[in-house]
């Protein structure tokens, strides 16, 4: 593979993942999923940790902390303790799927039974199944890959993107560890790009302003960020973050290279309207990007 082909392949892999990601990510903002967790007796935060980690089985909270990486451990431990008291991992996995089924049916309507969605599910499953022989070093992905496939096409597509997302996510964690960034420091570098508000990243992962401030100071001393007059990456920080993203793309490229450029383009075209519909209601920050892609 030439350098140019490799660069093109990595760009295609990132583009395909980004187009499909709202189809998976909607589960984290789904009122139907939150309602399912409430029926089991937990709040949305505990439901998030318990349902996403359910594929791992009954595991210590520290394994959730390790695999989720950028959440405050002091938030994970009580959430997982509450979840363990409320229901089994199998019940949380079922609640997650039931909630997402309801969300997809509500927002997509008749499209859940369309030939376009069925074809997208077929392509996404082909891509996802290319990863199942490569579980080494990817614990969260491997756990999800061991779950049974749903039968309905709209859930096949969701499960396929779940696998592709966790495959990429485990590789991203490896890249962050290799770069010497803690989970909180990784969030600070993300905020420093300007792509998303620092307060949103900090609060959604349950870090205090004081903890955030110390992480900013550590990264400033290491030459990654400057926070005067506002938080931003330094030239060195931008270079190092680009290296992390390149490594993440390289580690995640296998399923998309296996699928090939034509099939990836078809998959993106098929899923874009579904992702856009979900993003407009549940992930508005992703809707603008998807709208720009389709313009």
**pLDDT tens digits, residue range 258-280?**
999 999 999 999 999 999 999 99
Sign of the CA dihedral 268, 271, 275, 277? Answer: positive
Question: What's the pLDDT band for 185 if we cut at 50, 70, 90?
Answer: very high
Residues 6+ apart with CB under 8 A from 212: 184, 188, 198, 202
3-class DSSP assignment, residue 225: strand
Q: What does the buried/exposed string (b/e) look like for 253-276 if buried means 16 or more CB atoms within 10 Å of the residue's CB? A: bbbbbebeeebbeebbebbbebbb
For 148, which DSSP code?
P
Tell me which long-range contacts 236-241 makes (C-beta under 8 A, separation of at least 24).
237/189, 237/192, 240/179, 241/189, 241/193
Q: List the structure tokens of 136.
A: 């080494």
Copy the structure tokens of residue 229. Answer: 């007059």
Pick the closest to residue 124 from 85, 173, 76, 158 (CA basis).
158
Q: How far is CA 210 from CA 115, 193, 202, 207, 214, in A?
A: 52, 21, 11, 8, 6
Q: Which of 258, 247, 260, 256 is nearest to 19 (CA)?
A: 256
pLDDT digits (tens, 9 = 90+) for 188-221: 999 999 999 999 999 999 999 999 999 999 999 9
Q: What's the pLDDT score for residue 294?
A: 62
pLDDT value, residue 288:
78
Cut 0.75: pTM above it: yes
Sign of the dihedral defined by the CA atoms of residues 10, 64, 153, 116, in that order: negative
For all residues of the chain together, what is the average pLDDT?
95
pLDDT higher than threshold 60 for residue 1: no
């Amino acid at each position: 593979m030439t350098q140019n082909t490799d660069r093109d392949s990595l760009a295609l892999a990132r583009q395909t993942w980004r187009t499909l990601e709202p189809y998976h990510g909607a589960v984290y903002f789904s009122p139907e999923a939150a309602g399912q967790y409430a029926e089991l007796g937990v709040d949305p935060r505990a439901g998030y940790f318990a349902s996403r980690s359910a594929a791992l089985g009954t595991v210590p909270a520290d394994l959730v902390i390790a695999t989720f990486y950028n959440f405050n451990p002091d938030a994970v431990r009580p959430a997982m303790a509450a979840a363990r008291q409320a229901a089994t991992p199998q019940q949380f996995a079922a609640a997650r799927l039931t909630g997402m089924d309801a969300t997809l049916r509500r927002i997509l309507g008749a499209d859940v039974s369309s030939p376009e969605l069925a074809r997208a599910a077929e392509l996404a499953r082909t891509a996802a199944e290319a990863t199942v022989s490569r579980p080494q070093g990817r614990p969260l992905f491997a756990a999800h890959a061991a779950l049974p496939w749903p039968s309905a096409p709209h859930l096949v597509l969701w499960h396929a993107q779940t696998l592709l997302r966790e495959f990429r996510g485990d590789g991203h964690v490896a890249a962050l560890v290799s770069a010497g960034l803690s989970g909180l420091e990784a969030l600070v570098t993300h905020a420093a790009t300007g792509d998303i508000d620092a307060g949103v990243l900090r609060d959604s992962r349950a870090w205090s302003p004081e903890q955030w401030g110390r992480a900013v100071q550590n990264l400033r001393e290491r030459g990654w960020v400057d926070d005067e007059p506002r938080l931003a990456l330094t030239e060195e920080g931008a270079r190092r973050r680009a290296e992390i993203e390149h490594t993440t793309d390289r580690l995640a490229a296998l399923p998309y290279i296996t699928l090939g450029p034509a099939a990836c383009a078809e998959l993106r075209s098929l899923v874009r309207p579904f992702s856009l519909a979900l993003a407009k209601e549940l992930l508005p920050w992703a809707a603008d990007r998807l709208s720009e892609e389709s313009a």
